[in-house]
Structure 1
């Protein structure tokens, strides 16, 4: 019987986002196949993680395309991006913990492409006056990734309802990133102070 590699990958992703320490035996069981069959597709855990990385990058890029980052106000584009990427957030949260994916010369250039596109969105928002300019686009990008991972974890462990995912991220991120109008200082008053009339002694 032919094994659907995509099914195996998505089963592995669903398991590892809930239990990052799952063994290859557990992954095989989750996918409904034997350990030997899993090994024929992925020689070991590292090969499986690399395949999940490619899946995660592909899903991120699909979300970036669907969010139409170049259209309309940057604030609205950020909200669209959070909505589009929600389904992949759990997998991304798992991948962020796999340090070997982000070390050395073998780093997948897909992450750089994603970083560049998200950073460009925040830079656009700064140029349009929507976002603060004292926070770099690179920092806002990393903040978004961190919030995605944290919100995914909150939902998975039952500390937050799935319906709150987008609201939690967008409101916290934008609440800190939005540029607020400069406060208007009142002009100093030049009118003479009021004094009570001097008391005169009665004769």
Structure 2
């Protein structure tokens, strides 16, 4: 594998990721050969940087995935009284990303969903360890609590995007804060 911290390697990876995004929006099937052609490199270059296509796709979508995760860093979990606006914003982002997700195959969707769940788990674990948790979960280890909520949030974020973002946000808030 190429050194990911090398500036030349970083440029090549960015080229490959941009090629994936272009191919996805054009609804072209993704193969290493197609990505290499679209990026203007040879196929062995793609293999030097990525072990498999799913890893490349997840890297190409990382900014989209982070956009879904970052708002959870600002949610006021300690005040369960009403759904925070950050959640409505994140479900609006999810709705806006629906066309891109629709371009993925089932296996690609599974890989991106797994990466999303991992990122959510990390974000929530950090917040929960720092004491920013909904009340009533003290007996549950922060890592387990975060993993459980991340699973539900991932299902809500990647599920039916035809639902109103505010309605999805209310469902997510109920999941996060527990029964009222």
Classify the TM-score, shorter chain.
Answer: 0.3 to 0.5
Larger Rg: 1
* TM-score (normalizing by structure 1): 0.44
